[in-house]
Structure 1
Amino acid sequence: MKRAWLWPVTIGIWLLYMLGAFFLMGDRHLRWFDPEQKLTAQQSALQAYIADLPDNTVIEFVEPGCYCNPFSSEHREELRHDFAKQGKTLRVVTPGDEERAWLPSAPAVLVVGENKQIVYLGPYSAGLYCSANNSFVVAAVNNYQRAGLATGILDDAQGCYCRL
């Protein structure tokens, strides 16, 4: 007796399982960057933090052990290279109490332009893998360099972020 139907059914079940696992992973790791509006509520703490920074500074906030770090590592390396070519001061910071007072999630980036202006503050990008394909940082820095337009604070993105 032939069981020609066995392989298509087995492959169909496997595909359903894989799709379910993919959506479960996405649902588990996809989060809002600032669901409690912490950046808006803690503007004075943020401004005090920026006051101590030199102009043209980029600060990467990376939380050790965050499951999102591997997803954004390639994107962060590309940005580091680009910022170094532009002559920006670059720091990588593990958020401490001072940063946790106003920063809701990591990984995140702060780009300070001339006169302590916030060019960009928020996540690197959106989506489950926070890749360079949908980079908020690159768009913000390009707008600032070309037209002097600062994006400012982006707090409503959804992606792979760890709460601080």
Structure 2
Amino acid sequence: MRSLNNKQCVIIAVVIVWLALTVTGLVYFQLGQLSPFDPYKVLNKPGWFNNFKQLIEYPQNKFATLIIVTDPDCGCTKQADPHLKQLIRFSSEHNIAVIKIEQSQTLQTLVPATPAAVVLDEEGQFVYAGPLSEGLGCAQGRGFVETVITNLVAGFNSKLLLNDTKGCYCTDKVKD
């Protein structure tokens, strides 16, 4: 068996240190992208759901409805675009009406981060409010909304308020 000389040991050590620094930097910067969806618990405020419906002038349409709130200037919305398209297709296949709304300063007082979703049943009752999904890959895989829609179609209203999660979300730090 050949033994390593000093030059080879130095090269191996440099490669290992470089690899460790690269992985550490990647993890550090990726975790920096994670932000809380609702750090000020805006969605927990009394009357939130009724205020939301009034603000968007929700049309009572006798269909279960998915309302998607996005900010076109948000990098997270751009990253989630494939997921948004898949979600719209999924909703349509399950006879769920889809309303897309762009985030505004007024709406930010009720929807703390984007991309976000609110699901209502056919009677306009609360089913879900929160992000599309969580984690670094918010744009990938099945998210919370698909599960909620599947349950709603099966006759189960989860009444799920999910605001204590982290992911790629754009916020304006609204504290109202």
- Residue identity over aligned pairs, in percent, reads 23
SS in 2 for 1:149: coil
Give the corresponding residue for 1:117: 125
Moved more, 127-136 or 104-113: 127-136
CA distance in 2 between partners of 1:22 and 1:6 (Å): 24
Can you list the C-alpha shifts for 1:95-135, whole angstroms capped at 9, x where unaligned?
Answer: 12342121000011112212111221110111011144351
1:60 pairs with 2:64? no
**How much does 1:78 deviate?**
1.1
Equivalent AA in structure 1 for residue 135 of structure 2: G
Is the CA contact (8 Å cut-off) linking 1:34 and 1:105 kept in structure 2?
yes
Over alpha carbons, which structure has the higher Rg? Answer: 2
Counterparts in 2 of 1:52 and 1:131: CA distance versus 1, 3 Å: closer
SS in 2 for 1:111: strand
CA distance in 1 between partners of 2:58 and 2:120 (Å): 11
Moved more, 42-51 or 29-38: 42-51
Equivalent AA in structure 1 for residue 133 of structure 2: S
Moved more, 81-90 or 27-36: 81-90
Equivalent AA in structure 2 for residue 21 of structure 1: G
Give the corresponding residue for 2:159: 151
CA distance in 2 between partners of 1:92 and 1:17 (Å): 42
1:21-36 matches, cutoff 5 A: 21-36=25-40
Is the CA contact (8 Å cut-off) linking 1:45 and 1:101 kept in structure 2?
no
Moved more, 89-98 or 47-56: 47-56
1:10 pairs with 2:18? no
Can you list the C-alpha shifts for 1:6-42, whole angstroms capped at 9, x where unaligned?
Answer: 3322321222222222222233211111010111226
Give me the TM-score of the superposition, normalised by structure 2.
Answer: 0.81
Equivalent AA in structure 2 for residue 32 of structure 1: P
**How much does 1:162 deviate?**
0.7
2:51 to 45, 53, 57: 45
SS in 2 for 1:128: coil
**How much does 1:2 deviate?**
5.8
CA distance in 2 between partners of 1:51 and 1:153 (Å): 21
The number of residue pairs the alignment matches comes to 164
Structure 2 portions without partners, runs of 5+: none
CA distance in 2 between partners of 1:145 and 1:86 (Å): 7
